[in-house]
Chain A
Amino acid sequence: MAKKLSIVVVERDRDRALTIVDGLREAGDMDIIVIGDEIGLARKIAARNPDLVLIDAGNPSRDALEELTLASAPMQRPVAMFVDESDGALTRAAIEAGVSAYVVAGLRGDRIKPVLDAAIARFHMMQKMRVELAETRRALEERKVIDRAKGIVMRAKGIGEDEAYALMRKAAMDQGRKVADVAQALVTAAELLK
């Protein structure tokens, strides 16, 4: 049986790192090391001499790993970038999910694929969570602005809450805009007139 795969995951955020490691463990038995401190990254990775390195494609520290792809780097085995490999679909999926992988040259595709599939799934999950979090934040922001705008309309016209909201909604519909946008315009204007 082939020796266990050794994998380095580069990720500063502890929760994200755990999410990735959990996903990889489900894909098989492997040695996984997380590097969270990116100072001296290339040297740390070279010292571990892993079969595979996973890193967020948006992490600026990726550039430090490029050095490892050169044969002159202080590695026992040269590392090739995953995009060099022939599996185009897998590469595209990795790019879409925002994960970059560096693998040791000569490592067989059937050993890489389950790891990459697991990593891609986890990165997708984290991407989805990030989008959801951003949406929740925006919805909260919009609520706050709408409440402030409602208050302005109520004071200016001496009307009740429901009536104020109905007025804003009508203005929004007439202009083909979102209630939140109308509310934002009201708040901005009111600040100018203070």
Chain B
Amino acid sequence: MTVPMRLGFLPLVDAAPLIVAEAMGFAEEEGLALDLVAAPSWSALRDLLAAGQVAAAQMLAPVPVALALGLGGPARFEVLSVLNLNGNAVGVSRALASRMAGHDFALTDARAAGHALLRAAGPGLRIGVPFAFSMHRELVHYWLDGLGTVPPARLEIVTVPPPLMPDALAAGEIDAFCVGEPRGSVAVERGAGVLLLPTSAIWAAAPEKVLATRAGWAEVEPDLAGRLIRAIWRAGRWLGQAANLSVASEILAAPGRLGVSAEVIERSLTGRLVISPDGQERRIPGFLRFHDGAAGFPWRSQAAWIGTRLAARHGLDLRAAQAQAVAVFRSDLYRLHLGPAGADLPAASAKVEGSLAQPTPVSSSRGRLILPPDRFFDAQVFDHGLPQ
């Protein structure tokens, strides 16, 4: 019997697993009739989920962690799977780009790009990010902190709703931004900015959006949760095949979805970004990843990394924050529902983040799992000390 289910999303490229699950029939195979609800902002989507108006939602990976730490509201969420790794880009205003004439804009070297940015910015630098609790903010902090230079005297990282980013750049309210697609490409299309660095050059395998539900829902509704996780996982697997990406772009560009052309969407899906209004293109392998290398697996060490960063900045106890963070990434439920469906699951639920420079085979349920490189630009490793 088909069961209706409402899912919330923001019109972004990385809502693709939800949209594809509905459009390509992966949800229907699981007996789910998905009703996709587009939200106007992350706070509105968080409230929709908290109030039970949607069963599950696409969510910024740090939001469920922040809530568990008591930051950003009274709701409590859990992560059933990771929707995608990476997919954001840092861009600068055209005025700032013109002051970076010596930089090659190769989009590969975070250190070179960071130093070029700080040199050009002078004493004041204001960077717009989409939300207070977002990987955009975490990765920009991590990047600027790790450059080993004195930050600008007036460095501010402020929330600017992405639809307003181009105007904020034009008005000089911000000098740079870090956004998800298609927002970066739209800023380039509108002649407002130039892309400087994909966030995959800061951390090669950063969790970005997650599939979130209210805490406890998946255990009260194990059957529905299983159907949902499997449908989203199959959609991610479909999105992981290069041959499907032009069809995926068309699906995302359909009326009522992302509101931008398939051509712009395809840039981020294929990792061929147009970085400047004069049409320069860069190829970024691993710009946005949905499936390969257990991309959907909610690693507890990812949660620990986010929790540690948030706790340090907000002055919370690190040990307690790690424990609270780790508990919301439900790798146990992911295993429970996807093992029988044929997913190749890693033997461990936590890893040393940042330790892989090369694709590396690891122990897994079906023996074919190869994890992709997950290096941080500064070659640090994050070892949370969790049992693996």
Cross-chain contact A95 with B168 (CB below 8 angstroms)? no
- Chain B residues in 8 Å Cβ range of A65: 43
Among B70-78, B86-94, B198-206, which stretch is in contact with chain A? B70-78
Cross-chain contact B168 with A39 (CB below 8 angstroms)? yes
**A193 CA / B163 CA spacing, docked (Å):** 42
CB distance from B55 to the nearest CB of A (A): 17
Among B41, B73, B132, point to the contact of A59 (Cβ < 8 A): B41
Among A42, A43, A81, point to the contact of B73 (Cβ < 8 A): A81
**A70 is an interface residue with CB less than 8 A from chain B:** yes
Return the CB mask of B44-60 against A: 1 if under 8 Å, else 0: 10010011000000000
Query: Of residues A66, A67, A70, A81, which shows the largest number of chain B Cβ atoms within 10 Å of its Cβ?
Result: A66
**A20 CA / B50 CA spacing, docked (Å):** 27
- Chain A residues in 8 Å Cβ range of B164: 38-39, 60-61
**A69 CA / B164 CA spacing, docked (Å):** 21
Cross-chain contact B173 with A83 (CB below 8 angstroms)? no
In the complex, chain A residues 148-164 whose Cβ is within 8 Å of any chain B Cβ: none
Among A39, A43, A67, A84, point to the contact of B132 (Cβ < 8 A): A67
Q: A39-B167, A57-B44 are in contact. Are A63 and B73 (CB under 8 A)?
A: no
- Chain B residues in 8 Å Cβ range of A59: 40-41
- Chain B residues in 8 Å Cβ range of A81: 73
In the complex, chain A residues 127-152 whose Cβ is within 8 Å of any chain B Cβ: none
Among A42, A60, A61, A95, point to the contact of B51 (Cβ < 8 A): A95
CB distance from A92 to the nearest CB of B (A): 8
CB distance from B217 to the nearest CB of A (A): 19
Cross-chain contact A60 with B132 (CB below 8 angstroms)? no
CB distance from B146 to the nearest CB of A (A): 21
Query: Of residues B71, B159, B314, which shows the largest number of chain A Cβ atoms within 10 Å of its Cβ?
Result: B159
- Chain A residues in 8 Å Cβ range of B43: 62-63, 65-66, 100
**B42 is an interface residue with CB less than 8 A from chain A:** yes
**B152 is an interface residue with CB less than 8 A from chain A:** no
**A30 is an interface residue with CB less than 8 A from chain B:** no
**A67 CA / B314 CA spacing, docked (Å):** 13
**A43 CA / B164 CA spacing, docked (Å):** 15
CB distance from A185 to the nearest CB of B (A): 20
Cross-chain contact A66 with B161 (CB below 8 angstroms)? no
**A122 CA / B130 CA spacing, docked (Å):** 29
Total interface residues on A, using CB and 8 Å? 25
B171 nearest in chain A by CB position: A39
- Chain A residues in 8 Å Cβ range of B131: 63, 66
**A64 is an interface residue with CB less than 8 A from chain B:** yes
Query: Of residues A57, A63, A71, A84, which shows the largest number of chain B Cβ atoms within 10 Å of its Cβ?
Result: A63
Cross-chain contact A63 with B41 (CB below 8 angstroms)? yes
A74 nearest in chain B by CB position: B156
**A175 is an interface residue with CB less than 8 A from chain B:** no
In the complex, chain A residues 32-51 whose Cβ is within 8 Å of any chain B Cβ: 38-40, 42-43
**A58 is an interface residue with CB less than 8 A from chain B:** yes
**A76 is an interface residue with CB less than 8 A from chain B:** no
Cross-chain contact A60 with B73 (CB below 8 angstroms)? no
In the complex, chain A residues 1-49 whose Cβ is within 8 Å of any chain B Cβ: 38-40, 42-43
**A115 CA / B299 CA spacing, docked (Å):** 45
CB distance from B72 to the nearest CB of A (A): 7
Query: Of residues A38, A64, A81, which shows the largest number of chain B Cβ atoms within 10 Å of its Cβ?
Result: A64
CB distance from B355 to the nearest CB of A (A): 32
Cross-chain contact A40 with B159 (CB below 8 angstroms)? no
**A95 CA / B40 CA spacing, docked (Å):** 14
Cross-chain contact A60 with B173 (CB below 8 angstroms)? no
Among B50, B132, B313, point to the contact of A66 (Cβ < 8 A): B132
Q: A42-B159, A83-B74, A95-B51 are in contact. Are A63 and B173 (CB under 8 A)?
A: no
**B158 is an interface residue with CB less than 8 A from chain A:** yes
**A43 CA / B74 CA spacing, docked (Å):** 25
Among A42, A62, A69, A95, point to the contact of B41 (Cβ < 8 A): A62
**B239 is an interface residue with CB less than 8 A from chain A:** no
CB distance from B133 to the nearest CB of A (A): 8
- Chain B residues in 8 Å Cβ range of A39: 164, 167-168, 171, 173
Return the CB mask of B166-201 against A: 1 if under 8 Å, else 0: 011001010000000000000000000000000000
**A57 CA / B51 CA spacing, docked (Å):** 14
**B135 is an interface residue with CB less than 8 A from chain A:** no
**B295 is an interface residue with CB less than 8 A from chain A:** no
**B160 is an interface residue with CB less than 8 A from chain A:** yes
CB distance from A177 to the nearest CB of B (A): 23
**A57 CA / B43 CA spacing, docked (Å):** 9
**A43 CA / B171 CA spacing, docked (Å):** 15
**A41 CA / B51 CA spacing, docked (Å):** 26
- Chain B residues in 8 Å Cβ range of A66: 42-43, 72, 131-132, 159
- Chain A residues in 8 Å Cβ range of B71: 70
**A86 CA / B76 CA spacing, docked (Å):** 17
Cross-chain contact B159 with A60 (CB below 8 angstroms)? no
**A67 CA / B160 CA spacing, docked (Å):** 10
CB distance from B149 to the nearest CB of A (A): 23
- Chain A residues in 8 Å Cβ range of B314: 70-72
B66 nearest in chain A by CB position: A70
Cross-chain contact A63 with B168 (CB below 8 angstroms)? no
The 4 closest A-B pairs by CB, nearest first: A60-B161, A63-B41, A64-B159, A62-B41
